[in-house]
Amino acid sequence: AQSVAQPEDQVNVAEGNPLTVKCTYSVSGNPYLFWYVQYPNRGLQFLLKYITGDNLVKGSYGFEAEFNKSQTSFHLKKPSALVSDSALYFCAVRDYRDSSYKLIFGSGTRLLVRP
């Protein structure tokens, strides 16, 4: 079965510093990986995805993610954090079963950027 794991419940970083939010995956076949962000009292918003191609994927709001097949990881990164980046971040993997696509989500990582 497809799964993703987010080993950190919370990540704290100072504004202006680089940030990393970790995700590892377990899939059969080629992975289709996603990052979503959830701001307080809002639904999830798509940030970026990896389907195939370059291992460094660029997404919205200056975020990028690095796909590493040997380490089965898909870490989310940003070179310089903003206070407004504080939110809940979810890694997800696509699961295709019963003729339909579903997303399997990690448990989420809360990012707190302090001024």
Partner 1 sequence: NAGVTQTPKFQVLKTGQSMTLQCAQDMNHNSMYWYRQDPGMGLRLIYYSASEGTTDKGEVPNGYNVSRLNKREFSLRLESAAPSQTSVYFCASSEGQLQYFGPGTRLTVT
Q: Choose, by CB under 8 A, the member of 8, 24, 27, 49 that binds partner 1.
A: 49
Spatial distance between the Cα atoms of 92 and 108, rounded to a whole number of angstroms: 10
Spatial distance between the Cα atoms of 87 and 26, rounded to a whole number of angstroms: 25
SS3 sequence, 71-88?
Answer: CCEEEEEECCCCHHHCEE
* Tokens describing residue 97: 């079963």
Query: Which of 30-38, 52-60, 63-71, 76-84 is the region at the interface with partner 1 (rule: CB under 8 A)?
Result: 30-38
Number of Cβ within 10 Å of residue 71's Cβ equals 11
Residue 22 CB, shortest distance to partner 1, in Å, is 14
Q: Choose, by CB under 8 A, the member of 14, 51, 56, 112 that binds partner 1.
A: 51
Closest-CA residue to 1 (of 32, 23, 26): 26
Using rule CB under 8 A, residue 28 touches partner 1: no
> Which CB, 102 or 114, lies closer to partner 1?
102
Using rule CB under 8 A, residue 58 touches partner 1: no
> Which CB, 17 or 60, lies closer to partner 1?
60
